[in-house]
Amino acid sequence: MQLVDSHAHLDMYSPEELPHVLARAKAAGVATILAIGIGEGPGEMHRSLEIAEATESPELPVIYATAGIHPQEAASATPDALATLASLASKPHCIAVGEIGLDYYHVENPQPEVQKQAFIAQMDIASRAKKPIVIHCRTSELATPAAKQKFGTADAWQDVLSLLSEHWAPHALGGIMHCFSGTAAQALRSIELGFYISFAGNITYPAASAIREAAKASPADRILVETDAPFLAPIPHRGQRNESALMANTAAFLAELRGVSAEELAAQTTANFRRLFPAAAME
C-alpha cells in the first residue's frame, strides 16, 4: 500500500532530522510527498524545491515541491518576490504554486484587498507556468474577537471561490484545496471549479463534523490526503509534532468514514494525485 502526502512543510525540519523523517515516511508506506514552499516568507520559497531536487533515493519518498506566498505574507508580494516565484514555478520539480489564497483568521494578517491582489498575481504566474495551485482558505468565523472586528463580515470562502471562478477556472489547470475545513457545499463548489479536496489530520478531531460531512460528500476521484506536517497530527497523536509517517492514521480514518478499505483509499488518492500532476505519474 502506497500513499501520497499531498502537503507537508519539509523545510520546517532541521537538516539533521529531515532524513529520519523521510525514512520513517517511506517505512510507513508514503511513497510521494509534495513539499510546500512558503517558508517564513518569500525569501524562503526556494527551500522546499532545494529539498526536492536533492532527494533522490529508493530508500526515501519521491519529493516534489511548490512555491508560493502565503496570504499572511501578502504584503511581501512585491514585484521582485513575484519574479522570484515565476522563476521557481518554471522548474521541473516545482509542480504547483502554493499555498496561496486568503486568511481572515489572524488579526495580524493583511487587509483582504492586499491578500486578494497577491492571490490574483500568483494565479497569473501559475497560469503562465501551466501549473496547478494549492489553496489556503481560512475564514474569521472562529477567530479571536480582534480578528473578527478587523475582518468584519468578510468571508474568506466566499471570496476565494469568487476569485477562483473569475481568475482561475478559465485556465482549466485545477489545484488542491489544502487541509479542507469548509462545508460539503463548499467542497462541491470547489470540485466544480476543478479542485481536489485534501483532508488532513484534523478530520479525526471530535469537533470536525463539518469536515467529515464534506469528506463523505466528495467524489472518490477528487479526494486527497495530507499531513500539513509538522502541524495537525491526527488522533491518536494529536498534540505531537506531525510528520508524513503519521498520515496512515488519517488515511485509515478517511477510508472507514467512506466505507472502503485502507488499500482502496490509498490507491484512489494516489491515482488522483497523479491525475492532477502528470509529472508524478511518470515516476
Q: Name the average pLDDT for the chain.
A: 96
Q: Name the pLDDT band for 142 (thresholds 50, 70, 90).
A: low
Q: Indicate the CATH number for domain 3-281.
A: 3.20.20.140
Q: What pLDDT digit, counting tens, does each position of 145-183 carry? A: 888 889 888 999 999 999 999 999 999 999 999 999 999
Q: What pLDDT digit, counting tens, does each position of 178-235 carry? A: 999 999 999 999 999 999 999 999 999 999 999 999 999 999 999 999 999 999 999 9
Residue 257 has pLDDT above 80, yes or no: yes
Listed range (120-124, 248-252, 277-281) with the worst mean pLDDT: 277-281
How many whole angstroms separate alpha carbon 190 and alpha carbon 214? 11
Torsion angles phi and psi, residue 94, rounded to 5: -90, 105
User: What value does the CA radius of gyration of the chain take, rounded to a whole number of Å?
Assistant: 17
For residue 148, what pLDDT is reported? 84
Residue 140 has pLDDT above 80, yes or no: no
How many whole angstroms separate alpha carbon 177 and alpha carbon 7? 10
For residue 224, what pLDDT is reported? 98
How many whole angstroms separate alpha carbon 140 and alpha carbon 195? 23
